[in-house]
């Protein structure tokens, strides 16, 4: 809703929206068969059109979920692009997302080598990007409090983190008792869950949609 007006706050909200959803959208376009350069242009054009129209009130038509709204809008956009069969690429000049900031590794990771469907790949990128954003926020909180080392180890103790140390080893590294580490991990997970809920809440139109979207987020991570 903040992104609907012309205020600086609206521009900041739109910028955040684009940065969070750029990778899922780009991945979907690549999975449709577009080459990397073409996918970048199409992604830029899609967000440029979204920013120009400012029609985010339409999110409510997609059960109030920004994730679903963007995917539906993207499919319509790509269909229009194919019908028009334009030879000149759109999205030149200054775009809403600094594509050059993406490393070559990040671009390689978004290549369409995944055998899963484009829709599922979009969902996976959405969930992974949201999770990364939450961890960035959490890291900022811990670093501000002077607990960067604690954050690094607690992050490794989250489920499915490869090469995670044992709790005993982590406690030794941090010069903490295992009981103290257990309490720190509990607080870490609780704060992580709170931030996930906050991020989800930003992308739904009604508070009643939060729980369903949370369940969907968890299910996507498990696929």
Could you tell me the residue range of the domain that residue 76 belongs to?
Answer: 1-113
48-100 pLDDT tens trace? 887 777 666 666 555 558 888 888 889 989 988 887 754 444 444 445 555 55
d(CA 158, CA 147): 17
- Are residues 70 and 147 located together in one domain of the fold? no
- Are residues 85 and 154 located together in one domain of the fold? no
Domain total of the chain: 2
d(CA 223, CA 215): 13
- Are residues 183 and 214 located together in one domain of the fold? yes
132-170 pLDDT tens trace? 999 999 999 999 999 999 999 999 888 756 677 888 998
Cα distances from 189 to residues 61, 71, 155, 157, in angstroms, run: 34, 30, 9, 10
- Are residues 95 and 8 located together in one domain of the fold? yes
Query: pTM of the predicted model, to two decimals?
Result: 0.71
User: Which of 16-30, 111-125, 126-140, 162-176 shows the lowest mean pLDDT across its residues?
Assistant: 111-125
- Are residues 142 and 35 located together in one domain of the fold? no
- Are residues 216 and 122 located together in one domain of the fold? yes
Looking at beta carbons, which pairs linking 185-190 to residues 24 or more positions away fall under 8 Å?
185/154, 185/157, 188/138, 188/151, 188/154, 188/157, 189/158
């Amino acid at each position: 809703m903040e992104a609907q007006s012309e205020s600086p706050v609206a521009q900041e909200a739109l910028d955040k929206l684009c940065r969070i959803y750029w990778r899922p959208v780009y991945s979907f376009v690549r999975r449709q068969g577009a080459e990397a350069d073409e996918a970048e242009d199409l992604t830029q054009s899609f967000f440029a059109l979204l920013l120009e129209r400012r029609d985010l009130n339409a999110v409510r038509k997609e059960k109030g979920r920004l994730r679903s709204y963007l995917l539906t809008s993207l499919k319509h956009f790509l269909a229009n692009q194919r019908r028009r069969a334009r030879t000149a690429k759109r999205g030149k000049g200054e775009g809403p997302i600094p594509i050059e900031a993406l490393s070559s590794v990040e671009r390689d990771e978004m290549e369409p080598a995944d055998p899963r469907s484009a829709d599922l790949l979009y969902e996976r990128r959405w969930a992974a990007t949201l999770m990364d954003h939450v961890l960035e926020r959490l890291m900022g909180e811990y670093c501000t409090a002077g607990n960067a080392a604690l954050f690094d180890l607690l992050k490794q103790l989250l489920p499915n983190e490869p090469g995670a140390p044992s709790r005993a080893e982590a406690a030794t590294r941090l010069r903490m008792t295992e009981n103290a580490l257990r309490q720190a991990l509990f607080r870490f997970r609780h704060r992580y869950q709170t931030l996930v809920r906050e991020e989800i809440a930003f992308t739904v139109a009604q508070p009643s949609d939060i729980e369903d979207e949370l369940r969907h987020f968890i299910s996507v991570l498990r696929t």
